[in-house]
Amino acid sequence: MPGRAPLLRAGDLFAVRAVINGAYELNMLVDTGSAFTLIAEDWAEEFRFKLEPPLRSIGLVTVERLAGPLMLGRLGSLQLGGALLRGIEAGLTRLPDVLRVDGILGLSFLRNFRVTFEFDSASLVLREPPPARRASR
């Protein structure tokens, strides 16, 4: 399930176009410092999108502050290029308007792959992890 996705500029940051549950296309900021994949609450409200159970609440801490509770659930699927994962944990949260993205692609998705940023070809490349890592998924 390797994949390659074009890197899109989001100001000084990079985003990718992801497909959630086979139906929704979102521009997602690639954030290797985020433990979770996050969907913007305003986007979810507009499209009446809901996370799948099981749901749980955690405290969310950002670099700047304690941002309060975060409700986590599951995505039916998340596809990036040819890479598709089902049932990854994700949360809904308010994102600053200045980011101009629909979500954040975090480690709950990225840790399942060997991830390479190829800036010369403006691509995010996802490869299968080594066999020892794959067995622990």
Quick one: which of 21, 45, 22, 20 has its CA closest to 104?
Answer: 20
CB burial of residue 125 (10 Å; 0-12, 13-18, 19+) = middle
Q: Find out whether 40 and 99 touch, Cβ atoms under 8 Å.
A: no
Token output for 101: 């993205």
Alpha-carbon distance 109 to 87, whole Å? 10
Q: Which two tokens stand for residue 104?
A: 């954040």
pLDDT at 130 over 90: no
Per DSSP, helices labelled H in the chain are 41-47, 107-110, 131-135
Specify the pLDDT at position 55. Answer: 80
Q: How far apart are CA 117 and CA 95, in angstroms?
A: 24
The radius of gyration of the chain's CA atoms, rounded to the nearest angstrom, is 14
> What pLDDT score does 59 carry?
67
pLDDT one-digit tens code per residue, 58-99: 766 554 544 567 889 999 999 999 999 999 999 998 888 888
- Return the pLDDT at 10: 80
Band (137; pLDDT cuts 50, 70, 90): very low
Range of the domain at 10: 3-135
User: The domain spanning residue 106 has which CATH number?
Assistant: 2.40.70.10
Mean pLDDT of 32-51: 92
CA angle 26–73–69, rounded 5-degree value: 95
105-124 pLDDT per residue, tens: 999 999 999 999 999 999 99
Q: How many domains does the chain have?
A: 1
